[in-house]
Amino acid sequence: MEKRYSARALRRLAVALCLLWLPLPATVHAAGAEFSLKDYCPAGFQLNGEGCYLQSLYASYDSLQDSGVGGLKTGLPELRQGFSPRQIDLGRLLFFDPVLSGDHSMSCASCHDPNKGFSDGRALSVGSKGQLAKRSAPSLWNVGFLKRLFWDARASSLEEQMLGPLYDSHEMANTPEQLLTDLRASSAYRELFAQAFNGDSSIQLDQVYTAIAAFESSLISLNSRYDLYAHGYHEALNEAEIEGMNIFRSFVARCAECHTPPLFSHQQIAVIGTPEPNNRPLDPGVAAVTGDASQRGGFKVPSLRNIALTAPYMHSGRFATLREAAEFYTGGRGHAVPPGEKLSLHWHIWEPKLTGEELDRLVDFMGALTDESFMPQIPASVPSGLAPVVGVQ
Amino acid sequence: MVRAMHWLVIALSLVAGMHSAWAADIPVKEGESIQAAVNRAAPGDVVLIHPGEYRESVYVDKDNITLRGVVVDGEWPVLEGEGKRNDAILYSGNNFTVEWLTIKHFKGNAIMGQAGNNYTIRYNRVIDTGVYGIFPQFGKNGLIEYNVLSGIEDAAIYVGMCDNVVVRHNEVFDNVAGIEIENTRHAIVENNYAHNNTAGLLVFITPGLPIKTTYDVILRNNFVVNNNTENFGAPGSIVAKVPKGIGVVIMAADEVVVEGNIISGNQTAGIVITDLAFVTDIASDPDSEPNPDRIEILDNLMFDNGADPVADVKAAMMTQFKRRGPDILANFGSAQEPDNCILNKEQYVTFGLKKWSKCERTSTADIETYLLADGAPPREIENDEDRTLRLYQGICAGCHAYNMRMIGPPTVAIQALYHNNAKGIADYIAEPHKVRPDYPPMPGQGHLSEEIRQKVAEFMLNVKK
């Protein structure tokens, strides 16, 4: 144990020295450190053959029509899984490595910061050269369960989704050519890609996407105190939280009709009419993707797991607190829709007349959905030799 | 002989023991709390609710619980919502039964299920509750019978996203929708009396829900009479868009059989079959198939329908030079296609059925029920040993593999450290401290009760692979 520790310390020192020499803006540099990929699965997963598979108490339940929605003891929707431990671990290194961005200043973790529930704490994310993104960064916890990605559901796989941030001039502003050139210039990455992809050290784009998708799918948060309640350990929630849960799933508040357990999203599109911050024009949401006017202002119902960690809320980041987000639903049907807009508001958006106390209890309950026990390790160094980037710099 | 006696005694005591273990009666009297009784109840128990008024909401997150009202001398137990409580009864457990209750004045639903299988809801009176009277959701295998419901601003009985349901012998009146079967498969609605609602029986696909289909539904031997009440649905709700005066509405659902019903006095139409265009001002959902397909209207007794139809239907009437509205109306689009069929079409006033074919079968008598003979299989086996195993595998094994390093140290290493000291493990995991510099900290498990921590610790010490 002692020995391993000192080897590790030495490695850190080497990395640190290496970093000191780097000119700015940082160029890709073969890091002095040797990297090797974990040959065991991340927390919550077990190796079965070549791939890692989730171990969850939810596996003992089914769900109607295998839909992955229902009540307390309900099976999960299908998870992207079966990636090898090494692919997942390679994805972890890539996720934190700013070599993925055009000017080597941003990583995925810039906006999906593990310390902020894999979000960034901002209303609108800040991308390349300080440009504001159009929307707020969603959490990536449990993202491997989602069939449609982005607030407006415009991507249908993680691989398709990441083309957005990687190559968008507002976000990481890279190009596929530069990404490949940079990664191939790193002997460390060539070695690691060979470890993850059957000895193939050529580094292909689809391998980059697979590895990142593998890592994203490993971000599982299903061991909150709520989950213990659901599995039958009723003492895990206090009275206020149970009261909040009952309001949440009541047919007055109706939160669970859209934020349906076990993921707290039924993954459908809903037009609910949340307000934009100060005079920004209405975000057309799904309608801008499909051209279908009835979907104007429609967004994918977001999961509420770890929601207490990811303020501010909604696609626009308009609400600073969970209390304000909950209060939106009792403000009256369409109260925040700009004059002159006619939205096909969802039928569950109505006038529930929730009391102030009920709103407080809803907030209590949403707080019981927090679980970060399977937090992945933030790498101390990444194979490009650049310093890993976490959070907004 | 002595031996045989001996066995008999054991057998008897086993039966007796089992009985008390799984069928205790827990009485609740006026002034006491039903919820407190539910909290005390173990699977198999019956909560007996005596006559009186109960001002509370009740939730049941356990399996095999029965809430049974006790009616004495015509006095019922009444759950009173006073217009301010949300839902009267919320259940998620399997094998739930609720019966012999009167439920009044709740803001939300009277009885609402979320994912409980094998539910029975019967002999209840629901009066003037807010949104739905009886609303099982995400459940398989349910029986809803002998309930009387009135004054509900949406559907009195609303079966949403379920499989294998029988709704029979209920009376629903003075509601917006009487009985609604929505995004549900294998349902029978029979021998009900649906009168004086805005619409009597509804079989729908509603778009935008996570389960997308409705098919294999039989509506038979119901009285569907005089459903002409002004629509008082909440603005924005789907039923608020249903015109008054309709006996039966089939929207987008497939394989619906209508047989042996008495459908009369519904002033807009006896039966309307339509695609999703029927409800407007709702976000479209490309994953919802909008067309009603393979509808079968077998023999029904229909008269006096369409006497005073709503404007749209009146307009259609004019174009056909008819003096009254239809018994059966197939709306424009796929509802008029020949994959739908009818028997003795000439008996009725029909609009839009020109292309409909003649049904091959004449009866559904061969289909007795859609309830599952053995019930939906239980979701899990509830015993302590099993729960501990799943807790270990679901939580601890996420980080501790048997003989290799994962996030945490291997289980063998922990077994070597702790030998027989399960208590030591139980204490450690309540509040883990840092032991190994090259491992991350272990997240605390203090939310598990001491007893469960002890069990999981014992389990960990005995893991063998």
Q: Report pLDDT digits (tens) over B262-300.
A: 999 999 999 999 999 888 889 999 999 999 999 999 999
A154 part of contact set with chain B, CB < 8 Å: no
Q: In the predicted model, is pLDDT for residue A233 greater than 90?
A: no
Contacts 24+ apart (CB under 8 A), B122-126: B122/B97, B122/B146, B122/B147, B123/B69, B123/B99, B123/B147, B124/B98, B124/B99, B124/B100, B124/B148, B125/B76, B125/B101, B125/B149, B126/B102, B126/B150, B126/B152, B126/B156
Q: Tell me which residue in A8, A46, A347 faces B397 most closely, judged by beta carbons.
A: A46
Q: What ipTM was predicted for this assembly?
A: 0.89
Q: In the predicted model, is pLDDT for residue B216 greater than 80?
A: yes
Q: Which residues of B touch A5 (CB under 8 A)?
A: 437-438
What's the rounded mean pLDDT across residues B53-60?
A: 98
A355: how many CB neighbours lie within 10 A of its CB? 12
Task: Give B23 to chain A, closest Cα distance, Å.
Answer: 20
Q: In the predicted model, is pLDDT for residue B221 greater than 60?
A: yes
Looking at residue A6, its pLDDT comes to 40
Distance between CA atoms of A99 and A92, rounded to whole angstroms? Answer: 13
Of all residues in chain A, what percent carry a pLDDT higher than 70?
Answer: 91
What's the rounded mean pLDDT across residues A147-152?
A: 97
Give the type of residue at A360. Answer: D
The CATH homologous superfamily to which domain A225-367 belongs is: Cytochrome c-like domain (1.10.760.10)
**A56, B131: Cβ pair inside 8 Å?**
no
B142 part of contact set with chain A, CB < 8 Å: no
Task: Give B232 to chain A, closest Cα distance, Å.
Answer: 15
Q: Which residues of A touch B382 (CB under 8 A)?
A: 232
Looking at residue A35, its pLDDT comes to 87
B341 part of contact set with chain A, CB < 8 Å: no
**A233, B452: Cβ pair inside 8 Å?**
yes
What's the rounded mean pLDDT across residues B238-244?
A: 91
pLDDT tens-digit profile of B62-113? Answer: 999 999 999 999 999 999 999 999 999 999 999 999 999 999 999 999 999 9
How would DSSP label each residue in A136-164? PPPP-TTGGG-SSBSTT--BSSHHHHHHH
Distance between CA atoms of B39 and A159, rounded to whole angstroms? Answer: 47
Show which of residues 169-198 on chain A sit within 8 Å of chain B, judged by CB atoms: none
Domain A26-217 = CATH 3.30.160.250: no
Task: Give B399 to chain A, closest Cα distance, Å.
Answer: 5
Show which of residues 11-40 on chain A sit within 8 Å of chain B, judged by CB atoms: 40
Looking at residue A27, its pLDDT comes to 41
**B438, A5: Cβ pair inside 8 Å?**
yes
Distance between CA atoms of A107 and A331, rounded to whole angstroms? Answer: 38
Question: Which of A211-215, A318-322, B240-244 bottoms out in mean pLDDT, i.e. has the lowest?
Answer: B240-244
Looking at residue B405, its pLDDT comes to 80
Nearest CA-CA partner of A103 in A135, A131, A76: A131
Q: Which of residues A5 and B29 earns the better pLDDT score?
A: B29
pLDDT tens-digit profile of B28-55? Answer: 999 999 999 999 999 999 999 999 999 9
Mean pLDDT of chain B: 91
**A42, B407: Cβ pair inside 8 Å?**
yes
Three-state SS string over B70-120 comes to CCECCECEEEECCCCCCCCEEECCCCCEEECCEEECCCCCCEEEECCCCEE
Q: In the predicted model, is pLDDT for residue B261 greater than 60?
A: yes
Looking at residue B130, its pLDDT comes to 81
Looking at residue B320, its pLDDT comes to 75
Q: Which residues of B touch A88 (CB under 8 A)?
A: none
Looking at residue B198, its pLDDT comes to 97
Where do the structural domains in chain A lie, given as residue ranges?
Answer: 26-217, 225-367
Looking at residue A131, its pLDDT comes to 87
B370 part of contact set with chain A, CB < 8 Å: no
pTM of the model: 0.91
Q: In the predicted model, is pLDDT for residue A3 greater than 80?
A: no
B253 and A351 Cβ atoms separated by less than 8 Å: no
Burial of B381 (0-12, 13-18, 19+ CB in 10 A): exposed
pLDDT tens-digit profile of B151-188? Answer: 999 999 999 999 999 999 999 999 999 999 999 999 99
Grade residue B370 by pLDDT with cuts at 50, 70 and 90.
very high
How would DSSP label each residue in A317-378? --BSSHHHHHHHTTS-TTTTSPTT------TT-S-----HHHHHHHHHHHHTT---TTPPPP
Q: In the predicted model, is pLDDT for residue A13 greater than 80?
A: no
Task: Give B17 to chain A, closest Cα distance, Å.
Answer: 24
Q: In the predicted model, is pLDDT for residue B403 greater than 70?
A: yes
Nearest CA-CA partner of B102 in B148, B61, B144, B157: B148
Q: In the predicted model, is pLDDT for residue A168 greater than 60?
A: yes
Strands B89-91, B134-137: pairing kind? unpaired
Mean pLDDT of chain A: 90
| A225-367 has the same fold as A26-217 | yes
Q: Who contacts A259 (Cβ-Cβ below 8 Å, separation ≥6)?
A: A248, A265, A266, A301, A302, A303, A304
Q: Token pair of B241, please?
A: 């868009």
Q: Which residues of A touch B61 (CB under 8 A)?
A: 72, 229, 234
Nearest CA-CA partner of A250 in A333, A330, A345, A307: A330
What's the rounded mean pLDDT across residues B1-20?
A: 44
Show which of residues 277-316 on chain B sit within 8 Å of chain A, judged by CB atoms: 281-286
DSSP-assigned beta bridge partners for residue B254: B215, B293
**B138, A71: Cβ pair inside 8 Å?**
yes
Looking at residue B386, its pLDDT comes to 67
Show which of residues 218-247 on chain B sit within 8 Å of chain A, judged by CB atoms: 234-238
